[in-house]
Amino acid sequence: MNEASPAGDDDVTEAAVNRSAVRSGLAVGLATAAYGVSFGALSVASGLDIWQTCFLSLIMFSGGSQFALVGVVAAGGAAAGPAAIASAALLGTRNSIYAIRTAPIVGRGWLKRIAGAWLTIDESTAVALAQPTPRSKKLGFWVTGLAIFIGWNITTLIGALLGDAMGDTRAYGLDAAAAAAFVGLLWPRLKNMQTGAVAVAAGVVATLLTPVLMPGLPVLVAALVAIVIGAFNLLGARSVAIDSPGGAG
């Protein structure tokens, strides 16, 4: 009896960890999916129709990239389409970095990898990596990703229908809200000097170039500024050789 107790305790602990991962995934999924209403309404305000808006959420499925795209379209209309796509694609490259971390969690098999690539976003990656065991990591990833994917597409449709029913959304100031929403997504990430400097420098460049370049291009030039600052680690923490253990972390 005594020898069986530790194994039983381990089973209980693992079950509790797995339940916690599922709860975290559902909580994050519901909270994130609710924001899809905003995207649906703002996308319609930017000039896209309901079906185009829903198609974006279904195929692109990356909140930051979607807001970036509709923000540029709102500023420049159809003529800004190529720049809008380029801006969204540039922002979406972060998901490729996430995929390096989540590949072992997703597992093998082409069906899993295709589904995993679709669901590899900020939230699913964060919830998965926060879990302590391989099983709970898988649960956190898939539950979060699926909850957001299903919820985001439903709320996008709701928001698009609401925005379409409002008629001329510019009368409510929603034509500028897409850019404001994107800034809201960016703001929590400005936690140190380098990221703050990148944001300020990119913003100044975009502001100066807006009157002289077609809509969308200032965003791309500002992105290049951000890449240069990041590549050369300007204003970032410098690596210092430390003899004591753990200094490289």
Q: Is the pLDDT of residue 236 over 60?
A: no
Give the model confidence (pLDDT) of 143-198 as tens digits. 999 999 999 999 999 999 987 776 655 555 555 554 555 555 555 556 666 666 67
Whole-number Å distance between alpha carbons of 98 and 240: 27
Question: Which of 6-20, 72-86, 129-143 tops mean pLDDT?
Answer: 129-143
Distance of CA 129 to the CA centre of its chain: 16
Helices (H) and strands (E) in the chain — how many of each?
A: 12, 0
Structure tokens, 173: 């100031």
> Per the confidence metrics, is the pTM higher than 0.85?
no
Give the model confidence (pLDDT) of 95-105 as tens digits. 777 888 888 88
Phi, psi of 102 (to 5 degrees): -90, -10
CB atoms within 10 A of CB 24: 20
Structure tokens, 94: 């972060």
Residues in CB range of 209: below 8 A, 6 or more apart:
217, 218, 221, 222
Higher pLDDT, 50 or 243: 50
| 244: confidence class by pLDDT, cuts 50, 70, 90 | very low
pLDDT for 149 equals 93
Q: Is the pLDDT of residue 90 over 50?
A: yes
In the chain, the amino acid numbered 128 is A
In the chain, the amino acid numbered 178 is A
206 contacts 222 by C-beta, under 8 angstroms = yes
| Gyration radius of the chain's alpha carbons | 21
Using the structure block, give the residue that is written with the tokens 């709860």: 23
Helix H, strand E, coil C: the string for 56-81 is: HHHHCCCHHHHHHHHHHHHHHHHHHH
**Which DSSP string corresponds to 91-141?**
HHTHHHHHHHHHHHHH-SSHHHHHHHHHH-SHHHHHHHHT-SSHHHHHHHH
Whole-number Å distance between alpha carbons of 96 and 83: 21
Inter-axis angle of helices 4-34 and 134-165, to 10 degrees?
20
Q: Output the CA–CA distances (angstroms, integers) from residue 204 to 16, 142, 219, 222, in the order listed.
A: 49, 40, 11, 8
219 contacts 202 by C-beta, under 8 angstroms = no
